[in-house]
Structures are given as structure tokens and as C-alpha cells.
């Protein structure tokens, strides 16, 4: 190609001086043929490069697959070795030791099944069937995944608030104007619900669900006084213990997620409302500090409430991880009330 270029740059008079025109054109034809051969060689080289790159990709894929196969085989070998050690352990046991091992295993399995099967009665409401503890965990997992918070923490909040629906309140609003009502025994009770904040939305919520607000249970007022003046109100609804005005803030979001009219006394609805609220309070970070802050705000700024929730969450996480309340002996009593 360089020679062709040089020939092209040669002036005509120089060609005439150096030789005949026929020699010049013969040389030029030869060089052009040579250039064509070089082009073909370059194309062939490109094809070879493309082929080699394809082979390399294929080999990389095969190597990756081989590595995965080796990893799987290694994992299977480790499992086989573990099973072999377990078998050797049993072979070296005496008959008495073997029977004791079986008895211990059976006891753990029975205990786990008993806890999972334990039912939670929903006091004063028939909006949903009572869940087992295992079912409550599955609901918490579902909602936790939906809103981005830790399931054990969510279930700890519901446990703290209402023993997972067991204690949803024993008072009834009978006068929406004053907020007064009665308790489960029929005795007159004051401050059942704050009339200027919660009575109107409470009536709307119960009406939408086809309920009579005066026979629908809510939490009672916990008597408290500041400088001789009554402080606080009752009126919290359902397993999550939301007051009516707060429930209304989350009603549309709950309906979007569940595609149904939100019901504060239904377990899945209550879990969803609580999960959304806790996520908004910062629990999505899933750190100890973030959960403590969210729990405290959930109850109006109580550090003792947050500590109790943290304990319950550790108990529940222990059960979820190990199938038993191994965190400490008080877990089952605190969570299940038995």
C-alpha cells in the first residue's frame, strides 16, 4: 500500500524518464492486486478475532457454570458430612441416651406446635376469626414486607397494644356530643372518646362498616390528672388501638393496599394500619434506635413503652428464628399471656 501511494505521487515526467509506461502500469496492477490480498487478509483476521471472542465468552460461561457446580457439590458434601457425623453420634449413643434424645426432640416439637396453634380471642368483636400465633407471624411478615418494617417489631407493637387482638377495649361511646359512655358492666364512664376530635370520625367509621357505634368496643379512659384536671381520653379501636382521627389519616392508604373498606377491628387491616404508621415514624430503617423512637412516638413519647416493645420484639424474633421462645423464660408469658 505504501508503494502504491508512492507510485501515485510520482509525476508523469518522472515515469517517462525512469522507464516505459507499460512497466509502470504493470507495476501498478501488481500492487493493486497485492492490496486486494491484504484487504482479504485483514477481513480474515477480523473474522478470526470475532470467532476467538465468541469462544472466550463460551469458555467464561462454562467456567462460571463449572464453579457453580463445584460450589453445589461442596455444599452437598458438607451436608453429607454433617449427616454422617449425626449418624455416628447416634450410633455411639446408648439406647437410653437415644431414647432421651428422641423424647427431647418430641417435647420441643410439641411445644412449638402448641404455641403456633394457640388462638387469640378478639374480645368484643367478630370481624375476623382469631389467628393462631403462627398465623399472626405470617400476617406480620406479609405487612412488614409490604411497608418495609421488621415483622417481629410490628407484631411486638400489636402484642403490646392489645395482646394481638385479645384486649380491644371494654368501653362504649353512648354520647357523641360529650364523649361519655359506659363500660362492659354497664356503669357510666366519662372521657370514653374526645368529642371534638374523634367522635365524628368514629361514627363515620362504624356506619361505613354497618356497625352501631354505641355497641362497638373501644378502650376506656385511663384516669389521669394534671394539676387536678382530668387528662387524656379513651377511644382507641381494634388490635392496633388507633384513635378514630388517626385511622382516618390512613384509611385511603389501607384501602389502596387491601382493596377493601378498612376495618379497625379486622386483624389484617389493623396490622396494615400499624405498619404504615410505624414506617412513617422511621421504623423502615430497622435499627434499634429507629424502632425505639418509632415505638415511643406510637404511644405518645413513652420510653418505658418502647423498652417493653423492644423486649417483646426480641422474644418474637427468637421464636421466628428458632421455633421457640428461647430469648428467656418470660417471653411466652409476655407475648401469649399464659
Within a domain: 75: no
Q: Is the pLDDT of residue 82 over 80?
A: no
Same domain, 60 and 120: no
Residues 308, 162 share a domain: yes
Rounded Cα distance, 134 and 215, in Å: 31
- Axis crossing angle, helix 133-147 with helix 95-117, rounded to the nearest 10: 60
- How far apart (Å, rounded) are the C-alpha atoms in residues 17 and 286? 92
pLDDT at position 318, please? Answer: 87
Q: In which domain, by residue range, is 251 found?
A: 116-336
Q: Are residue 198 and residue 295 in the same domain, yes or no?
A: yes
Q: What is the pLDDT of residue 21?
A: 53
Is residue 142 one of the residues assigned to a domain? yes
Cα four-point dihedral sign 29, 34, 38, 41:
positive
Are 51 and 124 contained in the same domain?
A: no
C-alpha–C-alpha distance, residues 305 and 297, integer Å: 10
Residues shown for the chain: 338
Q: What is the pLDDT of residues 263-289, one digit of tens each?
A: 999 999 999 999 999 999 999 999 999
In a domain, 297, yes or no: yes
The pTM for the full model equals 0.66
Q: What is the pLDDT of residues 233-267, one digit of tens each?
A: 999 999 999 999 999 999 999 999 999 999 999 99
Q: Kindly report, residue by residue over 170-213, the tens digit of the pLDDT.
A: 999 999 999 999 999 999 999 999 999 999 999 999 999 999 99
Task: Say if 121 falls within a structural domain.
Answer: yes
Residue 209 pLDDT: 95
Residue 305 has pLDDT above 90, yes or no: yes
143 and 11 belong to one structural domain: no
Number of domains in the chain: 2
Does 93 map to a domain?
Answer: no
Confidence of residue 13 (pLDDT cuts 50, 70, 90): very low
Does residue 85 lie within any of the structural domains?
A: no
137 plus 222 within the same structural domain: yes
Whether residue 311 sits in one domain with residue 170: yes
Q: Are residues 176 and 313 in the same domain?
A: yes
Amino acid at each position: 500500500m505504501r508503494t502504491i501511494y508512492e507510485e501515485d505521487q510520482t509525476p508523469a515526467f518522472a515515469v517517462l524518464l525512469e522507464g516505459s509506461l507499460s512497466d509502470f502500469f504493470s507495476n501498478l496492477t501488481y500492487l493493486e492486486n497485492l492490496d486486494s490480498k491484504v484487504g482479504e487478509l485483514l477481513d480474515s483476521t477480523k473474522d478470526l478475532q470475532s470467532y476467538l471472542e465468541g469462544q472466550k465468552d463460551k469458555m467464561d460461561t462454562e467456567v462460571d457454570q463449572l464453579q457453580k457446580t463445584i460450589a453445589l457439590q461442596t455444599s452437598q458434601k458438607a451436608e453429607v458430612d454433617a449427616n454422617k457425623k449425626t449418624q455416628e453420634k447416634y450410633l455411639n449413643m446408648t439406647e437410653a441416651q437415644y431414647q432421651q434424645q428422641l423424647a427431647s426432640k418430641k417435647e420441643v416439637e410439641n411445644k412449638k406446635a402448641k404455641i403456633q396453634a394457640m388462638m387469640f380471642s378478639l374480645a368484643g368483636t367478630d370481624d375476623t376469626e382469631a389467628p393462631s400465633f403462627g398465623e399472626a407471624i405470617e400476617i406480620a411478615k406479609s405487612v412488614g414486607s409490604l411497608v418495609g418494617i421488621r415483622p417481629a417489631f410490628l407484631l411486638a407493637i400489636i402484642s403490646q397494644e392489645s395482646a394481638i387482638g385479645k384486649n380491644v377495649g371494654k368501653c362504649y361511646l353512648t354520647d357523641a356530643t360529650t364523649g361519655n359512655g359506659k363500660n362492659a358492666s354497664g356503669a357510666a364512664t366519662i372521657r370514653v372518646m374526645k368529642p371534638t376530635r374523634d367522635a365524628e370520625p368514629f361514627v363515620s367509621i362504624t356506619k361505613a362498616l354497618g356497625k352501631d357505634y354505641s355497641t362497638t368496643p373501644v378502650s376506656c379512659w385511663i384516669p389521669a390528672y394534671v394539676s387536678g384536671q382530668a387528662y387524656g381520653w379513651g377511644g382507641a379501636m381494634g388490635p392496633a388501638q388507633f384513635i378514630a382521627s388517626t385511622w382516618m389519616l390512613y384509611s385511603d392508604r389501607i384501602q389502596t393496599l387491601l382493596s377493601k373498606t378498612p376495618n379497625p377491628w379486622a386483624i389484617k387491616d389493623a396490622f396494615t394500619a400499624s405498619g404504615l404508621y410505624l414506617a412513617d415514624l422511621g421504623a423502615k430503617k430497622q435499627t434499634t434506635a429507629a424502632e425505639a423512637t418509632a415505638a415511643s412516638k406510637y404511644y405518645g413519647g413513652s420510653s418505658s413503652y418502647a423498652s417493653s416493645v423492644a423486649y417483646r420484639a426480641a422474644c418474637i424474633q427468637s421464636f421466628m428464628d428458632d421455633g421457640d421462645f428461647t430469648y428467656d423464660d418470660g417471653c411466652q408469658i409476655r407475648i401469649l399471656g399464659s
